[in-house]
Amino acid sequence: MGIFSKLFGNKSTEKKTGGMEDYMTLIRVYFQASIASQLGINNLAMLPDLRMFKTTLHVPTQNNKLGIGEKSHCKKMLKELYKVDDLFFKEIDASIRKNCRKIQDVQVYLVQFQGFTQDLMMLMGNLMKFKLRMPSFFKGAIYSMTEKTVKEIFTKNDYKDAGVVKVVLNIRQYNKRLSFSEKWITGFVYQVVMLAKKEPKAKEEAAK
């Protein structure tokens, strides 16, 4: 992760801060911090991304309760680096409140979210294909296409490819539990797409 590799001073593995890897790590940290504060979890071994975040950035524990300070710190970073809005965080918190009512729910929930995001990004790449090659400065068009594709995943029922149908049904099933809005999903996918488009440039710059 770019942020953390800089702190460790490892130039050979240093990556551009604010890239896709940082974004995905911070998203996982926010989920885990929200879960910790919601359920009163104090065992960092259960939440590996949160543990790395807390120990690397030396985030202090607030009010003797794990998750509160870390969640606030992570939220601030996501806002500053990626311009994430408050509604994005509110939906995550609401999803966690709905699904994580006891410690036994946590691993199931995190595995489901991982499966959801993996299937979602794979399917979006498949459905949008050449559209993803559009230059990054066409942000409005890319967002609109992402929004349209996300909507179709949840409303369109005439996909021809059996593999696509299977993944679409998986995503719908995942989201019945996770309860994210199409707007949230669009924002998440759009952010990943835009960051992914910057990755080759970052690699080229590093090679120079």
Percentage of the chain surpassing pLDDT 90? 75
Please name the residue that has the structure tokens 């965080």: 89
Check pLDDT > 70 for residue 118: yes
As a whole number, mean pLDDT of residues 64-82 equals 96
Q: Terminus-to-terminus CA distance in the chain, angstroms? A: 20
| pTM across the whole model | 0.85
Higher pLDDT, 15 or 190: 190
DSSP string, 184-195: HHHHHHHHHHHH
Check pLDDT > 70 for residue 58: yes
Non-local CB neighbours of 110 within 8 Å, separated by 6+ positions: 31, 32, 35
How many residues in total does the chain contain? Answer: 208
State CA 179 to chain mean position distance.
15
Check pLDDT > 50 for residue 41: yes
